[in-house]
Amino acid sequence: MTAPPGAGEITNRRVLRIALPIVLSNATIPMLGAVNTAVVGQMGLAAPIGAVGMGAVILASVYWIFGFLRMGTSGLVAQAHGAGDLAETGALLVRALMIAAAAGLMMIALQGPLVWGAFRLAPASAEVEGLARSYLSIRIWGAPATIGLYAVTGWLIALERTRAVLVLQVWMNGLNIVLDVWFVLGLGWGVEGVAVATLIAEWSGLALGLWLCRAAFAGRAWRDWPRIFDAAKVRRMMAVNRDIMIRSILLQGSFTTFLFIGAGQGDVTLAANQVLLQFLEITAYALDGFAFSAEALVGQAVGARNARLVRRASVLSARWGVGGAALLAAGFALGGPAVIDVMTTSEEVRAAARLYLPWVAAAPVIGVASWMFDGIFIGATLTREMRNAMFLSVAVYVGAILLLVPVFGNHGLWAALMVLNTARGLTMAWLYPAAEARAA
């Protein structure tokens, strides 16, 4: 009998084969935002820049809610693959795509209240709001494709096909950039041109993604409706996705609280924090690759019922994650001042950002455990444990804010954020034995 895929030996080379394409893929994401801003900026007006930025943030905030679909799909598909249940890997993709389609159609149907609520929370000038509404009225039609791509990406990661994820990301962002330049600078379509370019890139990306996942549709399993709608499997998928969504909302709420409290420290401090948060975004993009390798390899080992490989996948992925975090910390400490000077010309903001830079330099090392355990727990589908760990960590974070911010100001705020990541890492480390037990 052939051994299940998850029983294959886990090596450093295998970890890197999964992780490095994700790191490269993530590196293309900031480029698109920069090009969008630069192209619209050639119009010589402030309102179009603000409209595109506001519209993109509104959609990104809503789409972010459905990020659970990528993580949940990744963990469940990896386990099915590790168990050698290829029919279930296809069924899981179909279930996830059905959820994506329903969510996307719901967003299209509710676009009126969605846009209204967004501008009540973040009001803008009449000109910016009008342009942003035009942008959103076009982009919203890409909702099913964008959410569907979460499912496609999770499926590819689970099967260690991260080079396909890189191809998909480069295609989408590359096409988007080319169409941006053509529609805005060539045809003069303005804000609507940026929206149409992104809409085309999203739907073409989904088409390419489905082609990359064509193995899932090779047989009849993907049309095995009794399997797809199996009550027990559907309940498990919904429970996994629900727990991840709750955990993600808590995490996003923590960062939003950080921003709001930072705003109370004054405009200069707020601007400095915003600059420094870009370093944390870089950290997340870089360490995602190793967290994703843990998702795939741990998930497959759990599916193969091999606790030894769960530990090996966790240890090897974590070692590379720690190494990456150390490099990032050194890079931020040494090159951070120069990057700050590029990001802002305000001397006041530069000085404030340098003052708090040590916190950002320490952040990758302090936070690497939480990132890596996220990947391990997603692979093992310990999503309830992730959710509970986040509840506890957020409670500790709130306590740290109440104790530290009144005394130390913005230093206390950054310290509280480090406390949050430390608490996340420690609570999941305490719960880690459940990951190996899941493979017993």
In this prediction, residues 103-126 reach a mean pLDDT of 82
- Distance from C-alpha of 40 to C-alpha of 49, rounded to nearest angstrom: 6
- Of 47, 45, 44, nearest to 55 by C-alpha is 47
Distance CA 224, CA 90 (A): 10
Residue 1 pLDDT class (50, 70, 90 cuts): very low
pLDDT tier at 132, thresholds 50, 70, 90:
confident
Residues 6+ apart with CB under 8 A from 221: 86, 87, 90, 91, 227
Residue 333: the pLDDT is 94
Reply yes or no on whether the pLDDT at 2 is more than 50: no
- Min mean pLDDT across 97-111, 143-157, 230-244, 266-280 is at 266-280
User: pLDDT, tens digit, for every residue of 32-59?
Assistant: 666 766 677 666 666 676 677 777 778 8
**Averaged confidence pLDDT in the chain:** 89
Judged against a pLDDT cut of 70, whether residue 287 lies above it is answered with yes
pTM score, whole prediction: 0.89
Residue 310 has pLDDT above 90, yes or no: yes
The answer to whether residue 157 scores a pLDDT higher than 80 is: yes
Q: Which residues contact 409 (CB under 8 A, 6 or more apart)?
A: 265
Residue spans of the domains in the chain: they are 1-229, 241-440
Least confident of 71-80, 153-162, 202-211, 263-272: 263-272
How many other C-beta atoms can be found within 10 angstroms of the C-beta atom of residue 102? 12
**212-219 average pLDDT score:** 88
DSSP label at 2?
Answer: P
Residue 255: pLDDT over 60: yes
* Contact between 93 and 222 (Cβ < 8 Å): yes
Res 224: pLDDT:
85
The tokens for 238 are 């919904």
**pLDDT higher than 60, residue 4:** no
| pLDDT of 3 | 46
- Does 144 score more than 80 pLDDT? yes
More confident residue, 434 or 349: 434
